[in-house]
């Protein structure tokens, strides 16, 4: 009996979580002329909305921008983050502890609270609507968490590794490069996912810093598209569906990595 109630509850949860996608699919596959309720599935799938959304929201360009921005941010965060974490984790001098505290305190600064001066900085350096102008601030705000995770992970590796390599005549830089770096793969996977998802889905920075249509990311492109064609609800739905496809598909295939990455990334406090 108890089990039965549990299964019913599980079923209800599933329904609640799937209904939004059911509605989205219905709206996305119906022609604009079909005014039947969103609850009614389309008589036959209509693909015109996708073509309209793809062209009008300039999604091809937006996808490309998303890929470029996300790839660059992830790559730089991984390189700079792992490098920074090594001395901070291995040589806990007074100075390094202060530096570490400074890095960690950057985690708690919500980017929104300093957006006005940050925006001013980007404008003054003529960085609006350029790749660098969005990539650099992203890196700065994703780095603290990466350093936090790397520092913790390196701390859990045995110090004897370093000492053995040092006795063998390795320079300290070579130790990082040859001994530590290869061991960082698992935590790097976690960091790639949480930085990647954060940057891919970002709206806050993108809507401030990217104002030229050719520079729009998926989120900004869709929001402009939505305000322009708010009556063409079917087009918007098709655009939303296209926009969420890449990450949801990846998630389906690499679930445990995504859950691990995003949960680790959420534990910021």
Partner 1 sequence: MKNNYFAKKLRSPSALNIMYVPALIFFIVFIFYPFVKGIRISFLEWNGYSQNSQWVGLEKYKNLFTDPDFYTTVKNTFIYGVGSTLLQNVIGLAFALLLDQKLRGKVIVRTIVYLPVMISSIIMGYIWYFFFKYDGGAVNDLISFISANYEPIDWLASGDRSVWIITFVNTLQYLGIAMMIYIAGLQGISKEYYEAASIDGAKGFSVFKNITLPLLMPSITVNVIVNIIGGLKLFDVIMAMTSGGPGYASSSISTMMYQVYFVRMDAGYAAAMGNFMFMMITVISIILLLYLRKKEVEL
Please tell me the distance from the alpha carbon of residue 42 to that of residue 26, in angstroms, as a whole number: 6
Residue 255 contacts partner 1 per CB under 8 A: yes
Nearest CA to 223 among 239, 246, 241?
Answer: 239
**Residue 19 vs 51, nearer CB to partner 1:** 19
Nearest CA to 139 among 97, 111, 178?
Answer: 111
Please give the span between the terminal C-alpha atoms of the chain, in angstroms, as a whole number.
41
Residues 208, 119: contact at Cβ < 8 Å?
A: yes
Among 53, 72, 74, 118, binds partner 1 (CB under 8 A): 118
**Residue 140 vs 157, nearer CB to partner 1:** 140
Measure Cα distances from 20 to 25, 59, 240 in Å.
Answer: 9, 22, 12
Residue 132 contacts partner 1 per CB under 8 A: no
Reduced DSSP (H G I as helix, E B as strand, rest coil) percent helix, strand, coil of the chain, to 5? 80, 0, 20
Among 24, 157, 179, 181, binds partner 1 (CB under 8 A): 24
Residue 114 contacts partner 1 per CB under 8 A: yes
User: Residue 43 has what DSSP assignment?
Assistant: S
Residue 182 contacts partner 1 per CB under 8 A: no
Residue 4 contacts partner 1 per CB under 8 A: no
Residue 96 contacts partner 1 per CB under 8 A: yes
Residue 99 contacts partner 1 per CB under 8 A: yes
Provide the minimum distance between the beta carbon of 136 and partner 1 in the complex, in angstroms, as a whole number: 6
Residues 22, 15: contact at Cβ < 8 Å?
A: no
Residues 55, 235: contact at Cβ < 8 Å?
A: no
User: Quick one: which segment of 47-55, 153-161, 179-187, 247-255 binds partner 1 (CB under 8 A)?
Assistant: 247-255
User: Quick one: which segment of 4-12, 43-51, 55-63, 179-187 binds partner 1 (CB under 8 A)?
Assistant: 4-12
Residue 35 contacts partner 1 per CB under 8 A: yes
Binding track over 51-80 against partner 1, x by CB under 8 A? -----------------------------x
**Residue 27 vs 184, nearer CB to partner 1:** 27
């Amino acid at each position: 009996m108890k089990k039965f109630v549990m299964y019913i509850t599980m079923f209800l949860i599933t329904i609640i979580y799937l209904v939004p996608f059911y509605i989205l699919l219905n709206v996305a596959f119906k022609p604009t002329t079909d005014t039947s309720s969103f609850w009614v599935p389309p008589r036959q799938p209509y693909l015109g909305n996708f073509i309209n959304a793809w062209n009008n929201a300039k999604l091809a360009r937006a996808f490309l921008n998303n890929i470029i921005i996300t790839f660059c941010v992830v790559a730089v965060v991984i390189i700079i983050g792992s490098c920074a974490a090594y001395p901070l984790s291995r040589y806990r001098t007074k100075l390094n502890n202060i530096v570490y505290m400074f890095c960690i305190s950057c985690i708690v600064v919500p980017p929104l609270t300093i957006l006005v001066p940050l925006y001013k900085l980007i404008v003054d350096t003529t960085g609006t609507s350029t790749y660098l102008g969005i990539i650099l601030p992203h890196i700065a705000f994703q780095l603290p968490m990466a350093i936090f995770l790397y520092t913790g992970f390196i701390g859990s590796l045995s110090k004897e590794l370093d000492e053995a390599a040092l006795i063998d005549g390795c320079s300290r830089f070579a130790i990082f490069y040859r001994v530590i770096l290869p061991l960082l793969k698992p935590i790097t996977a976690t960091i790639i996912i949480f930085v990647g998802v954060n940057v891919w889905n970002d709206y806050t920075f993108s809507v401030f810093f990217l104002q030229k249509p050719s520079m729009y990311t998926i989120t900004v492109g869709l929001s402009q598209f939505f305000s322009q064609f708010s009556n063409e609800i079917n087009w918007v739905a098709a655009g939303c569906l296209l926009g969420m496809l890449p990450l949801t598909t990846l998630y389906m295939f690499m679930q445990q990595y995504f859950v691990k990455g995003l949960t680790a990334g959420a534990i910021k406090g």
